[in-house]
Chain A
Amino acid sequence: MDDKEKLEKHQIARRAFLGCLGGAVAGGAAVVATTAVLPNEARAAANSAAPAVPAIPGYDWSKHRWAFGVDATKCIGCLRCVEACKAENEVAGDAHHFRTWVERYVYLEGEDRPRIDSQDDPVNIAASGSEGAYRFANRYKDAKVDKAFFVPKLCNHCTHPACVQVCPTGATFKTDDGVVVIDHTYCIGCQYCVQACPYGARFFNPELNVTDKCTWCYHRITKGLLPACVEVCPVSARIFGDLNDKQSPISQFVANNRVDVLKPETGNAPNVYYVGIDKEVR
């Protein structure tokens, strides 16, 4: 495709995109999309043999390779990330639907296996007073703790995503810049992808009747902003950036650490890189 064709396609797609997201994009509001809805043009482009530039003004998805890092040694379990994600992406405010969550691993003295909980644990909900408020209860204050740490979790935006493989309509797809997204206008809600994801990252949105998941805040990152969870993390436990840029935080994170991924044996090749996780973290 030559530059002229590229430009024309870009302009057509751009108009379609503006039509789709309307004033939200034009106004440059901080919160753009309520969901991971992408225009059909972008979806079609992702599926075609020669992907076009996506219909996002001033954004060229062929120039980026997004990735995410988690430094579990820094996470303090404050759960601001969960709160920010729920607000930013209008995720149901209950204890059963999360685009991101934080797990707590506690090894008590004399025990071989860690005790694991998340913010959705009934004890933690009781401590916060509501399913829509997130807090880790101080439930081990009287116990002798050998080792304890937090692990933030989110969609791994895998290089070989099993969820994309099984989607019968192609409503969920991988963008050229490495993000797995869902076209909510095309998803039939069969939940095969929910079954296929080994990380429990997908859920069924009971209000929209479609599958939902983390998009690394695609509506933000394509405008040069950080994902909401990264933005609010007070200790920089969440790192986000472009692997094509050697100076980006994620490139530095991957270069300077011995990173790990979750469940590598699935062959999904995750793109969320972890530092400081334990053998029990799956």
Chain B
Amino acid sequence: MEPLFAAAPYTGYVYPNETVFPWGILIVVYPYITGLVAGAFTVSSLYQVFGLTRLRPVAHLALLTALCLMCFVPTPLLLHLGHPERAFNAVFTPHWSSAMAMFGYFAGFYVILLALETWFVFRPYMVQQAQRRKDLLGRLYHVLCLGSHDLSDKAMRYDQKWIFALAVAGIPGALGLHGYVGFLFGSLKSREWWSSDLMPVIFLFSAIISGTALLIVLYVLSCKLRRVPIDVDCVKALGYTLWGFVMFTLVLEGVEFGNVIYKAREGIDIIMAFVTTRLIVPFFVLQFAVGAVTPIIILSYMFWRGTAGRALVAGITVSALLVLFNVIMMRFNVVIGGQEISKTGKGLLIFPWVIFGREGVLAAASVLIAPFLLLLVMIRLLPPWEDEHGDDKAVV
């Protein structure tokens, strides 16, 4: 029989109850997925709202990606809950002083917003397909049109207004959703590693870089798979966006870390003991050196040298992969790292990895992969590629 809990080994003195980690890998995956949603949506909005036309080839892909990921945001939480069947208690009878009680509302609002914007963006395509196809899929498109088959200029202008409004509303929505996740951690005064006013901002910017990086990877991969030429200008624009936000995130994380060390409040001894031993590889080497500094160097070098063509695309894609790695390491170092530092300030715990079971690595990996399987289905149903729309009406 599977044990009911995994006990953590420790050094120094820790409270007896701390030897069971409250939050495991699933809670690492949760802010990661939420961040990807917020980041992907931001990219979509850079085009829809701010008119960055160079991002046009990925704008719709960004929207679909955000929607697919958002559908799976609650899954790590539900898997983690001791009583998932009671999850709606927090929605129907929310305890207003709890940051966590807001999750259902934030997530619900955001799913609706994403679904609405997706519907408006892909309505012309759905109408065309509903009219052309006579098979089962045609009927599905017909249902998805919700009785709205008007593609006149007036109707399209109306749609465009809605898309713009939803994209504008979605920006504070997306940023709020992820800033809120940062607040969940930053507002807890019980853990020095988490308790920081900068935490929501750091979460926010790391979200934007992860979403941008994901879109670079997805776009390049999709072009390769579809055997269509890559829009280098688009990738370059995403590369610039990535570079800027990674720089900003890196500075923020540096300021935050410097703050903890410089203020040197109670518990700093154990934090220093942690940072200078067990955190060297996951924090300094993997998160900072490999995941943040390396892509910045690669991108800076390429932009400085004026690298173009395939080399530029390859360099930006590699940087994006590294940034994706950086952000998951950041989530890990925050969520797990914070719990490895005992509340006694006199001991360190070692996270017990669990492979199988409800909260194991396999479950977390499945939760992370699932949105992309959904995306595979969605891009077949609603192709986000410009060349498949047939006319410009679909591309707003």
Q: Total interface residues on A, using CB and 8 Å?
A: 50
Closest Cβ of chain B: how far from A200's Cβ, in Å? 3
Closest Cβ of chain B: how far from A265's Cβ, in Å? 8
Contact A167 B98 (CB under 8 A): yes
Residue from the list B18, B23, B81, B346 in contact with A188, Cβ < 8 A:
B81
Q: Which residues of A contact B19 (CB under 8 A)?
A: 95-96, 120
Contact B16 A198 (CB under 8 A): no
Q: Which residues of A contact B17 (CB under 8 A)?
A: 96-98, 194, 200-203
Q: Which residues of A contact B343 (CB under 8 A)?
A: 198-200
Q: Total interface residues on B, using CB and 8 Å?
A: 44
Q: Which stretch, A66-74, A205-213, A238-246, touches the partner chain B?
A: A205-213
Q: Which residues of A contact B93 (CB under 8 A)?
A: 169-170
CB contacts under 8 Å to A, within B66-82, are 77, 80-82
Q: How many A-B residue pairs have CB under 8 A?
A: 138
- A41–B190 alpha-carbon span in the complex (Å): 31
Q: Which residue of B lies closest to A207 (CB)?
A: B4
Q: Does A118 contact B (CB under 8 A)?
A: yes
Q: Does B396 contact A (CB under 8 A)?
A: no
Contact A188 B83 (CB under 8 A): yes
Contact A166 B5 (CB under 8 A): no
Q: Chain A 120-141, CB within 8 Å of chain B: the 1/0 string? A: 1000000000000000000000
Interface majority SS (helix, strand, loop, mixed), chain A:
loop
Q: Does B99 contact A (CB under 8 A)?
A: yes
Q: Does B218 contact A (CB under 8 A)?
A: no
Q: Does A171 contact B (CB under 8 A)?
A: yes
Residue from the list B86, B99, B184, B190 in contact with A266, Cβ < 8 A:
B190
Contact A191 B23 (CB under 8 A): yes
Q: Does A31 contact B (CB under 8 A)?
A: no
Q: Does B13 contact A (CB under 8 A)?
A: yes
- A153–B19 alpha-carbon span in the complex (Å): 16
* Residue of A97, A98, A203 with most partner-chain B CB within 10 A: A203
Q: Does A85 contact B (CB under 8 A)?
A: no
Q: Does B191 contact A (CB under 8 A)?
A: yes
Q: Which residue of B lies closest to A201 (CB)?
A: B17
CB contacts under 8 Å to A, within B87-103, are 87, 89-90, 93-95, 97-101, 103
Q: Does B20 contact A (CB under 8 A)?
A: yes
- A167–B4 alpha-carbon span in the complex (Å): 23
Closest Cβ of chain B: how far from A126's Cβ, in Å? 15
Q: Does B189 contact A (CB under 8 A)?
A: yes
- A202–B343 alpha-carbon span in the complex (Å): 12
Q: Which residue of A lies closest to B347 (CB)?
A: A116
Q: Chain A 174-200, CB within 8 Å of chain B: the 1/0 string? A: 000000000000111111101111111
Closest Cβ of chain A: how far from B277's Cβ, in Å? 18
Q: Which residue of A lies closest to B94 (CB)?
A: A168
Q: Does B301 contact A (CB under 8 A)?
A: no
Q: Which residues of B contact A120 (CB under 8 A)?
A: 16, 19
Decide yes or no: A116 and B346 within 8 Å by CB, A166-B100, A209-B82 being known contacts: yes
- A32–B32 alpha-carbon span in the complex (Å): 45
Decide yes or no: A168 and B100 within 8 Å by CB, A186-B86, A188-B81, A191-B23 being known contacts: yes
Closest Cβ of chain B: how far from A94's Cβ, in Å? 8
Interface majority SS (helix, strand, loop, mixed), chain B:
loop
Residue from the list B22, B83, B188 in contact with A187, Cβ < 8 A:
B83
Contact A186 B89 (CB under 8 A): yes
Q: Which residues of B contact A165 (CB under 8 A)?
A: 97-98
Decide yes or no: A204 and B5 within 8 Å by CB, A168-B90, A191-B22 being known contacts: yes
Q: Chain B 190-213, CB within 8 Å of chain A: the 1/0 string? A: 110000000000000000000000
Q: Does B53 contact A (CB under 8 A)?
A: no
CB contacts under 8 Å to B, within A69-118, are 95-98, 101, 103, 116-118
Q: Which residues of B contact A169 (CB under 8 A)?
A: 86, 89-90, 93-95, 98, 101
Contact A168 B5 (CB under 8 A): no
Q: Which residues of A contact B353 (CB under 8 A)?
A: none
Contact A200 B82 (CB under 8 A): no
Decide yes or no: A200 and B188 within 8 Å by CB, A169-B93, A188-B83, A189-B81 being known contacts: no
Decide yes or no: A196 and B80 within 8 Å by CB, A96-B20, A282-B344 being known contacts: no
CB contacts under 8 Å to A, within B126-172, are none
Q: Which residues of B contact A200 (CB under 8 A)?
A: 14-18, 343-344
- A187–B93 alpha-carbon span in the complex (Å): 12
Closest Cβ of chain B: how far from A131's Cβ, in Å? 10
Q: Which residues of B contact A170 (CB under 8 A)?
A: 93, 95
Q: Which residues of A contact B94 (CB under 8 A)?
A: 168-169
Q: Which residues of A contact B5 (CB under 8 A)?
A: 96, 204, 206
Q: Which residue of B lies closest to A203 (CB)?
A: B17
Q: Which residues of B contact A188 (CB under 8 A)?
A: 81-84, 86-87, 89-90
- A11–B218 alpha-carbon span in the complex (Å): 64
Closest Cβ of chain B: how far from A88's Cβ, in Å? 18
- A166–B97 alpha-carbon span in the complex (Å): 6
- A208–B83 alpha-carbon span in the complex (Å): 9
Contact B7 A96 (CB under 8 A): yes
Q: Which residue of A lies closest to B269 (CB)?
A: A113
Q: Chain A 132-162, CB within 8 Å of chain B: the 1/0 string? A: 0000000000000000000001000000001
Q: Which residue of A lies closest to B338 (CB)?
A: A195
Known: A166-B97, A167-B95. 19 other contacts (CB 8 A): A95-B19, A98-B16, A116-B12, A166-B100, A168-B98, A169-B86, A169-B98, A170-B95, A188-B86, A189-B83, A189-B86, A191-B23, A195-B188, A200-B18, A200-B344, A201-B17, A206-B4, A207-B4, A267-B189
Question: 3 closest pairs, A vs B, by CB?
Answer: A189-B82, A200-B15, A209-B82
A-B contact pairs, 19 of them (CB 8 A): A96-B17, A153-B15, A162-B188, A162-B190, A166-B99, A166-B188, A168-B90, A168-B98, A187-B82, A190-B77, A190-B81, A190-B82, A195-B188, A201-B17, A204-B82, A206-B5, A209-B83, A210-B83, A266-B190
Point out residues on A near B: beta carbons under 8 Å. 47, 95-98, 101, 103, 116-120, 153, 162, 164-171, 186-192, 194-204, 206-211, 265-267, 282
